[in-house]
Homo-oligomer: A and B are copies of this chain.
Amino acid sequence: MPATQSTLLTITIGLSLLALAFAVWLSRWVLARARGKPEMQRISDAIHQGAKAFLARQYRTITLLAILVAVVLYVGYGVFRTPNPSDPVSNPRTLALYVTVSFLLGAISSGIAGYVGMWVSIRANIRVAAAALESLNDALRLALRGGAVAGLFVVAMSLLGVGGLFAALSALVPVGSTAEQWVPKIPFLIVGYGFGASFVALFAQLGGGIYTKAADVGADLVGKFEAGIPEDDPRNPAVIADLVGDNVGDCAGRGADLFESTAAETIGAMILGVFLFRYFGVGGILFPLVVGSFGLIASIIGVMTVSTREDGDPMQALNRGFYTTAVLAVCGFALAAKWLLGAPEHAAPDAWWHFFLCGIVGVLTSIAFLLITQYYTEYAYRPVRGIAEASQTGPATNIIQGIAVGMEATVLPVFTIAIAIVASFYLGRASGLTGEHGELIGGLFGTATATMGMLGTAAYVLAMDTFGPITDNAGGIIEMSRQPESVRVITDRLDAVGNTTKALTKGYAIGSASLAAFLLFSAYLDEVFNYTGRRISVNIARPELFVAGLMGAMLVFWFSSLAIRAVGRAAYSVITEVRRQFAAKPGIMQGTESPDYGAAVDIVTKAALKEMVAPGVLVVAFPIAVGLLFRIVGLGAEAVAAFLMVATIAGIIMAIFLNTGGGAWDNAKKYIETGVYGGKRSDAHKASIVGDTVGDPFKDTAGPSLHVLIKLLSTITLVLAPLFI
A540-554 CB contacts (< 8 Å) to partner B: 540-541, 543-544, 546-547, 549-551, 553-554
Known: A217-B396, A557-B653. A421 touches B694 (CB 8 A): no
Give bound CA distance, A443 to B571, whole Å.
Answer: 50
Give bound CA distance, A689 to B394, whole Å.
Answer: 11
A377-401 CB contacts (< 8 Å) to partner B: 390, 393-397, 399-401
**Chain A interface mostly:** helix
Number of chain copies forming the complex: 2
**Interface pick from A79-87, A283-291, A559-567:** A559-567
Give bound CA distance, A562 to B400, whole Å.
Answer: 11
Give bound CA distance, A554 to B412, whole Å.
Answer: 10
Give bound CA distance, A653 to B553, whole Å.
Answer: 8
Known: A568-B400, A572-B393. A541 touches B525 (CB 8 A): yes
Known: A396-B690, A403-B564. A541 touches B550 (CB 8 A): no
The answer to whether B421 touches A645, judged by C-beta atoms less than 8 angstroms apart, is no
Give bound CA distance, A591 to B40, whole Å.
Answer: 62
CB of A462 within 8 Å of the partner chain:
no
Chain B residues within an 8 Å CB radius of A558: 407-408, 410-411
CB of A539 within 8 Å of the partner chain:
yes
Give bound CA distance, A687 to B674, whole Å.
Answer: 26
The answer to whether A411 touches B554, judged by C-beta atoms less than 8 angstroms apart, is yes
Closest to A411 in B: B558
Chain B residues within an 8 Å CB radius of A34: none
The answer to whether B397 touches A395, judged by C-beta atoms less than 8 angstroms apart, is no
Write out, one digit per residue, whether chain A residues 204-221 have a CB within 8 A of any chain B CB (1) or not (0): 000000000000010001
CB of A642 within 8 Å of the partner chain:
yes
CB of A652 within 8 Å of the partner chain:
yes
A-side interface size class: 35 or more
Expressed in whole angstroms, the minimum distance between the Cβ of A500 and any Cβ of chain B is 23
A403-444 CB contacts (< 8 Å) to partner B: 403-408, 410-411, 414-415, 417-418, 421-422, 425, 443
CB of A447 within 8 Å of the partner chain:
yes
CB of A6 within 8 Å of the partner chain:
no
Chain B residues within an 8 Å CB radius of A538: 539-541
Closest to A658 in B: B403
Expressed in whole angstroms, the minimum distance between the Cβ of A571 and any Cβ of chain B is 8
Closest to A221 in B: B393
CB of A724 within 8 Å of the partner chain:
no
Expressed in whole angstroms, the minimum distance between the Cβ of A21 and any Cβ of chain B is 40
Expressed in whole angstroms, the minimum distance between the Cβ of A634 and any Cβ of chain B is 13
Known: A407-B558, A690-B394. A543 touches B646 (CB 8 A): no
The answer to whether B543 touches A425, judged by C-beta atoms less than 8 angstroms apart, is yes
Chain B residues within an 8 Å CB radius of A276: none
Closest to A559 in B: B407
Q: Which residue in B399, B417, B572 is a CB contact (below 8 Å) of A550?
A: B417
Chain B residues within an 8 Å CB radius of A565: 400-401, 404, 408
The answer to whether B395 touches A541, judged by C-beta atoms less than 8 angstroms apart, is no
The answer to whether B547 touches A418, judged by C-beta atoms less than 8 angstroms apart, is yes
Write out, one digit per residue, whether chain A residues 355-390 have a CB within 8 A of any chain B CB (1) or not (0): 000000000000000000000000000000000001
Give bound CA distance, A401 to B403, whole Å.
Answer: 15
- Of the A-B pairs whose beta carbons lie under 8 Å apart in the complex, a sample of 6, sorted by A's number, is A395-B395, A403-B694, A408-B557, A414-B554, A537-B539, A646-B649
